[in-house]
Amino acid sequence: MNSLDSITVLPDGALTSPAARRNAEAILRVLRAHLSARGSVLEIASGSGEHAAAFAAALPDLDWTPSDPSDQARESIAAWSRQLDLSNLKPPLALDAGDPTTWPADTFDTLYCANMTHISPWSATEGLMDLAGRVLRRPGGLLALYGPYREAKVPLAESNAAFEASLKARNVQWGLRDREAVEALARSHGLAATLRVQMPANNLILLFRAV
């Protein structure tokens, strides 16, 4: 499981981090405003599952399917699910955005992905857009991305510049992605950029709709 957050293991095996607790409510406000009242959500790169549990609890009419290629992450997701006993929080999938053989055949109303594009090679983002183009219901299926991005006309915040340097020190294939490049990739898979939302700590939510 790729994570730059400090992680605490709870007695039941669930993983928790200050960053996930800190940003969950702000993300939820945006999702609540744009997700369908009912439907299905596939979360890509769920990590510890702390977001999946919080959002499934807050949005009980949405079926939330978390996923992560990491065994450790899926074990944590399962622990959160046992802890909260939510009927709409589905078992985690062993889905790798870069490996089409792991992708589900089902379709979904929404794909949600937080903090993956910069902590993975560009090929993972390419896979994410390919996946979204295949499994989002059309027209109107929603792809929601959360994290830091570079923008051509917006000066890079010092904190994000330092963050990117730390990412590249760990893996030269990691780093903040150009928003314009992400939007162009999305267009090539039939996804139209519809909204950019400024979030705390120099993060963004980018929304796309399947057309």
Q: Is the pLDDT of residue 1 over 60?
A: no
Residue bearing tokens 């055949």: 105
- 95 inside domain: yes
Q: Which residues are registered as beta bridge partners of 16?
A: 8
pLDDT score at 125: 98
Q: CA Rg, the chain, in Å? A: 16
pLDDT score at 4: 54
pLDDT score at 19: 82
What is the rounded CA–CA span in Å between residue 53 and residue 30? 17
- 3 inside domain: no
The 10s digit of each residue's pLDDT in 151-196 is: 998 999 999 999 999 999 999 999 999 999 999 999 999 999 999 9
Domain of residue 130: give its range: 8-210
The percentage of the chain sitting over the pLDDT mark of 70, rounded to a whole number, equals 98
What is the rounded CA–CA span in Å between residue 120 and residue 116? 6
Q: What is the DSSP letter of 56?
A: H
Average pLDDT of span 45-69 = 96
CATH number for the domain spanning 168: value is 3.40.50.150
- 107 inside domain: yes
- 1 inside domain: no
- 121 inside domain: yes
- Amino acid at residue number 179: R
Q: Which residues are registered as beta bridge partners of 112?
A: 43, 144
- 86 inside domain: yes
Tokens, residue 62: 């949405």
- 2 inside domain: no
The 10s digit of each residue's pLDDT in 87-101 is: 999 999 999 999 999
- Amino acid at residue number 56: A
Q: Report how many domains make up the chain.
A: 1
The 10s digit of each residue's pLDDT in 71-125 is: 999 999 999 999 888 999 999 999 999 999 999 999 999 999 999 999 999 999 9
Q: What is the dihedral of CA 65, 4, 80, 34, to 10 degrees?
A: -40
Pairing of the two strands 142-147 and 191-199: unpaired
The 10s digit of each residue's pLDDT in 19-54 is: 888 899 999 999 999 999 899 999 999 999 999 999
Residue bearing tokens 């150009």: 178
